Amino acid sequence: MPRAVIDAVAAAHVDAAGSPNRGVHALAEAATVALDAARADVARAIGAPSAEVVFTSGATAAVNLVAEAWGRAHVGPGDVVVATELEHHSNLVPWQQLCAERGARLELLRVDDGGGLVITALPARTRLVAVAHVSNVTGTIAPLAELAARAHAAGALLFVDGAQAVAHVPVDVTALGCDAYAFSAHKMYGPPGVGALWARGEVLAAMAPWQTGGGMVTTVDDTVSRFREPPYRFEAGTPNWPGAVGFAAAARFLAAADRSAEPRVHAALVDAVVAAGGTVLGRPEVGVVAFTLPGVHPHDIATIADGEGVALRSGHHCAQPVHRRFGVTASARASVACYSGLDDVEQFARALAKVREVFRR
């Protein structure tokens, strides 16, 4: 996490230690100003108006918000939600639950041997297409323009899970043509426990509140309440304004970061896996390289690599369907950051050599 993010969160606790939108004393006013400024910075990072950005506890909460607040009102018996085999569970399980509860059907777009989506005609009565902008396993970039055109021609929305994309590719939600976009701060060097949902104004306006309580109402009578306009109607309770401030600092950091080395580092990671006799899942374009080594469990790969100072993710990465597609239950995964260099890849290669040495014994 960049020092600028840590400092911004600390300053919010010290200099703006009052609940936003709830008081007229100086600290509450400072917190309100900080939260509003953070929303503007986060919105700017994805090319969106501030009024269309809802703060959440992360991308997972953003997906569930749409599934509950939009899905319950617009998906019914006989309708279809389309997702893909590439999805992180956070962008699959909520749609499974919605379809099961509403009598709808969930269908998945399949994946080719390279990890790319096989785009087919959408079923009749498709109401929403849910897709990861970038897969957290194969590193595949989804063809959002084509999916948006197909979804809109069918009268459906395109919902995008952008958690894996925001730190690696430019994001302009208007240019992408999607209707809603979810992402998390921690994926872009921000603090955990905060994220955002962007959705077109008309989509937000068509969504009733999912969670209710303080801060999202205008008036409360004995038996009925009136709700604030979006985005505030979706932010019940005391907001995590220090997290939002850190989120904004991360967005500013990322906008200024030099990411020109990332493609070279990413390509070198793939080469290192192949040189070690490993198999890469799909043909990763950005961000991540998920792989297996023959005869070695991914947990063992990660444990040995950790002893060499290399942190790898191991397991199914909350994406079991795509692992099944490639005939494995788990993989190890190396992720590229804006601060990664070829020296890191050299250490990664040495770690893989250590794995091979241990398992030759």
Side chain identity at 352, as an amino acid letter? L
The answer to whether residues 242 and 301 belong to one domain is no
Task: Mark which of 256, 272, 298 sits at the end of a domain.
Answer: 256
What CATH number does residue 300 fall under? Answer: 3.90.1150.10
The answer to whether residues 35 and 150 belong to one domain is yes
The answer to whether residues 267 and 313 belong to one domain is yes
Nearest to 233 by CA among 252, 212, 249: 212
Task: Mark which of 240, 256, 272 sits at the end of a domain.
Answer: 256
The answer to whether residues 27 and 140 belong to one domain is yes
DSSP-based helix, strand, coil % in the chain, nearest 5: 45, 20, 40
Domain extent for 104: 3-256
Please report, in angstroms and rounded to a whole number, the separation of the first and last CA atoms in the chain: 38
The answer to whether residues 22 and 122 belong to one domain is yes
The C-alpha atoms of residue 39 and residue 192 are separated, in whole angstroms, by 16
Q: What is the mean pLDDT of each run of 10 residues along the chain (361 residues)?
A: 97 94 92 97 98 98 98 97 98 98 98 95 98 97 97 98 96 96 97 98 95 94 96 96 98 95 96 97 95 97 98 98 98 96 97 95 60
Domain count for the chain: 2
The answer to whether residues 321 and 197 belong to one domain is no
The answer to whether residues 48 and 146 belong to one domain is yes
Residues forming the active site: 318
The answer to whether residues 242 and 277 belong to one domain is no
The answer to whether residues 98 and 202 belong to one domain is yes
The answer to whether residues 194 and 208 belong to one domain is yes
Task: Mark which of 225, 256, 287 sits at the end of a domain.
Answer: 256
21 backbone dihedrals φ, ψ, rounded to 5°: 60, 25
CA angle 325, 331, 333 (to 5 degrees): 120
The C-alpha atoms of residue 12 and residue 319 are separated, in whole angstroms, by 35
User: What pTM was estimated for this model as a whole?
Assistant: 0.96
pLDDT at 361: 60
The C-alpha atoms of residue 110 and residue 258 are separated, in whole angstroms, by 35
Query: In Å, what is the CA distance from 330 to each residue of 24, 86, 209?
Result: 53, 14, 38
What CATH number does residue 171 fall under? Answer: 3.40.640.10
Residue 170: is the preceding peptide bond cis (ω within 30°)?
A: no
Residues 329, 321: contact at Cβ < 8 Å? no
C-alpha 304, offset from chain centre: 29
pLDDT at 22: 86
The answer to whether residues 55 and 202 belong to one domain is yes
The answer to whether residues 297 and 188 belong to one domain is no
Classify residue 4 by burial, with Cβ atoms within 10 Å: 0-12, 13-18, 19+.
Answer: middle
